[in-house]
A and B are shown apart, each in its own frame.
Chain A
Amino acid sequence: MAVQTRAAVEANRPVAPPRRDFLPYMLALPIILYEGFFILIPILQQFGSSFTSDVIGMGPVKWIGMDNFNRMFGDSKFWNALRVTLTFMGFTVIVAVGLGLIAALLMNQRFRGRSIARTIMTIPWAFPDIPTVLVFFWILNPSFGIINVVARALLPWLEQNPKWLLDINLAMPIVVSIASWKAFPFYALVTLAAMQGIPAELYEAARTDGANRWHLFRYITLPDILPTLMLLGVLACIFSFRQFALIFLSTGGGPGRVTETLVIQVYKTAFNSFDFSYGATIGVAGFIAVFAITLVFVYLQRVRAADEEG
């Protein structure tokens, strides 16, 4: 009946109606099937497994209701992991996006050797995680690391070399620094791209009106790149949330549990304690957090897109 109505409506149109176009759907289908199989089904398995005694798909399971969740909410290790994740995330976002902004401001100037400087500043981003851990292990080695030379020069009263990654107070700042070293070039490149989209006439006009460098930054550059910076901030949250190899290989979540983020805890619960269904439960908590951050991201995208159009 609906078809008939539509046909009737279309028959009355003066111009030929557009054919229903199936091609995009046919093209999107393989992607949806692929991601459904490798991402969506595991996510559903994960949600299901949080209510059962073992992981669904591995063998027989027993329904245990909310037991896993009750255990998680009473688990100080879980709350610790959440706190560690937020700390790591917060500091990495501020440091990495901040450094990215400064680097972009520097690279936005004309100067001799700019392309070399730009390439050098991009290298950490292209440098893989595991060699990064390796080289920082070497730099931070408590006996032979060159960091000790620097530390002794700056702090001559030190009686012995700090333990660096094994020091309960230093581990987190160091991991944040390594992650920021690796992440800031990308934020710099994106910020730089946004800065270069600002019309030069705006600056010329402002200079004519007597604006100084700070004014130019505060009233032209910053407002223009702010939507990009906010998006990058959210993106940086996600990137630091998912950071696994860097933390896992450099500290393994330790010393104690001071760098044990949520993803590390999921991994350790499953593969060190073989508590798969509880690991899946923590994974569900992580999934909800990521989903929330992604929604913020989409919201900011809309704001930025509207900004650009309006």
Chain B
Amino acid sequence: MTTLVSNPVPRRNNRTFRPLRRIPFYIMVLLFCIVTAFPVYWMVVSAVQPVKYSLSYPPPLFPRAIELTPFNDIFKATDNPDRVDIWIGNSIILASITTIICLVLTIVGAYSLSGRRWRGQAQFGFVLLMTQMLPEALILIPLYATVDHLKLKNNLIVVGMVDTAFVLPICIWILKNVFDTIPKEIRDAALVDGCNRIGVLRRIMLPISAPGLVAVAVVAFFYSWNEFLFAASLIGDKKLYPASVGLASMISMINVPIDRLLAAGLVFSIFPVIFYLFVQRYIVTGLSAGAIKG
């Protein structure tokens, strides 16, 4: 290892043709992947195999049989009020409200940050950053007091508006980064051609940034989808529970069979996992290049 190699070329050949040396490396990667993936794997296994196997000791590492009835059961209200389909419907409504409000404000906010610098822009960025950093729980009490006082509890629109306030900063950073990648020449050319700046936004920036807008929509949608604290405090009516609160209420009940519980958890997780993986690039650059740089 420590021999001095003055010519890099043979050294590189060495590395390519000696795969055995990489075995420890592969073991490390494998170990990492197993530890990372196991909880999710275990959730799937325990949800799809008949519950008697899950409760045996030691439980089998691979499913012995497949039984998908719990996935069916959670959508039918037979013996309990846990209607996962109603909760998921509420979640879709709530998340759509957040997404719509958030998209409108994000486009406006990102456009204001992406042009020439203006006085107060740094302060504006700081306000956004503070909002992004603020723990939700720290302003829950006054928000709850106001919502309760105005008799606005059990209202999905209110929860969606509150969620928007928290997810907006990261959405703005994501879209601003996308806007910043559009060459200035394109914008200038449109201005010269007689487009005003709102026209530039509408006709040039937004069509080019379509993937970025999708990323913003995904982030906003699933922030609301996953959000628990506000939904749990501001919604008391079981029929209006979004799925996050519904699932949490199922966890705290002791009589729900484990396979059904895990099936509900899987149904709840599958959409965010797929969509997040799809747009992760935008989120990472949004946070690392945007929010981190400020």
Residues of A within 8 A of B (CB): 21, 23-25, 27-28, 30-32, 34-35, 38-39, 41-43, 45-46, 49, 55-59, 102-103, 106, 109, 111, 113, 117, 119-139, 144, 146, 148-149, 181, 185-186, 189-190, 193-194, 204, 207-208, 210, 212-213, 228, 231, 235, 238, 241-242, 244-245, 249, 263-264, 266-267, 270-271, 276, 279-280, 283, 286-287, 290-291, 293-294, 297-298, 301, 304-305
- CB atoms of A190 and B287 under 8 A apart: yes
B124 at the interface (CB under 8 A from A): yes
Instruction: Give Cα distance in the complex from A255 to B39, angstroms.
Output: 23
- CB atoms of A133 and B6 under 8 A apart: no
User: Given that A42-B139, A294-B130 are known contacts, is A130 also in contact with B288, CB under 8 Å in the complex?
Assistant: no
User: Given that A287-B138, A298-B294 are known contacts, is A57 also in contact with B59, CB under 8 Å in the complex?
Assistant: no
Since A42-B146, A135-B265 are in contact, a sample of 12 more A-B pairs with Cβ atoms closer than 8 Å, ordered by chain A residue number, is A21-B116, A39-B131, A49-B145, A57-B142, A121-B33, A130-B226, A131-B43, A134-B251, A136-B39, A149-B58, A149-B59, A276-B145
- CB atoms of A131 and B32 under 8 A apart: no
- Residue interface bits B131-146, CB-to-A below 8 A is 1, else 0: 1011111111111111
| Interface of A, helix, strand, loop or mixed by DSSP | helix
- CB atoms of A31 and B172 under 8 A apart: yes
Instruction: Give Cα distance in the complex from A301 to B5, angstroms.
Output: 39
Residues of chain B contacted by A264 (CB below 8 angstroms): 137
B210 at the interface (CB under 8 A from A): no
Residues of chain B contacted by A126 (CB below 8 angstroms): 272-273, 276-277, 280
- CB atoms of A45 and B108 under 8 A apart: no
CB-contact partner of B29 in A30, A31, A42, A106, under 8 A: A106
Residues of chain A contacted by B157 (CB below 8 angstroms): none
Residues of chain A contacted by B131 (CB below 8 angstroms): 35, 39
CB-contact partner of A266 in B36, B141, B292, under 8 A: B141
B100 at the interface (CB under 8 A from A): no
- CB atoms of A267 and B137 under 8 A apart: yes
Smallest beta-carbon distance A115→chain B, Å: 11
Residues of chain A contacted by B28 (CB below 8 angstroms): 106
- CB atoms of B135 and A290 under 8 A apart: yes
B75 at the interface (CB under 8 A from A): no
Residues of chain B contacted by A131 (CB below 8 angstroms): 43, 247, 265-266, 268-269
Residues of chain B contacted by A279 (CB below 8 angstroms): 141
Residues of chain B contacted by A290 (CB below 8 angstroms): 133-135, 138
Residues of chain A contacted by B59 (CB below 8 angstroms): 144, 146, 149
Smallest beta-carbon distance B88→chain A, Å: 13
B54 at the interface (CB under 8 A from A): yes
14 residue pairs A–B, Cβ–Cβ below 8 Å: A21-B118, A56-B145, A57-B142, A123-B277, A127-B40, A127-B273, A128-B225, A128-B226, A131-B247, A149-B57, A210-B6, A249-B228, A290-B134, A298-B129
Instruction: Give Cα distance in the complex from A193 to B283, angstroms.
Output: 12
Smallest beta-carbon distance B150→chain A, Å: 9
B127 at the interface (CB under 8 A from A): yes
| Interface of B, helix, strand, loop or mixed by DSSP | helix
Residues of chain A contacted by B65 (CB below 8 angstroms): none
Instruction: Give Cα distance in the complex from A148 to B56, angstroms.
Output: 12
Instruction: Give Cα distance in the complex from A20 to B293, angstroms.
Output: 27
- CB atoms of B272 and A245 under 8 A apart: no
Smallest beta-carbon distance B7→chain A, Å: 8
- CB atoms of A127 and B269 under 8 A apart: yes
B63 at the interface (CB under 8 A from A): no
- CB atoms of B272 and A244 under 8 A apart: no
Of all chain A residues, the one with the shortest Cβ separation from B276 is A126
B197 at the interface (CB under 8 A from A): yes
Smallest beta-carbon distance B192→chain A, Å: 17
- CB atoms of B265 and A121 under 8 A apart: no
Smallest beta-carbon distance A172→chain B, Å: 19
Smallest beta-carbon distance A111→chain B, Å: 7
Smallest beta-carbon distance A239→chain B, Å: 9
CB-contact partner of B168 in A31, A146, A270, A287, under 8 A: A31
- CB atoms of B135 and A241 under 8 A apart: yes
User: Given that A31-B172, A39-B131, A119-B277 are known contacts, is A134 also in contact with B140, CB under 8 Å in the complex?
Assistant: no
B165 at the interface (CB under 8 A from A): yes
Instruction: Give Cα distance in the complex from A103 to B164, angstroms.
Output: 32
Instruction: Give Cα distance in the complex from A106 to B141, angstroms.
Output: 44
Residues of chain B contacted by A138 (CB below 8 angstroms): 42-43, 46, 258, 261-262
Residues of chain B contacted by A42 (CB below 8 angstroms): 139, 142-143, 146
Residues of chain A contacted by B96 (CB below 8 angstroms): none
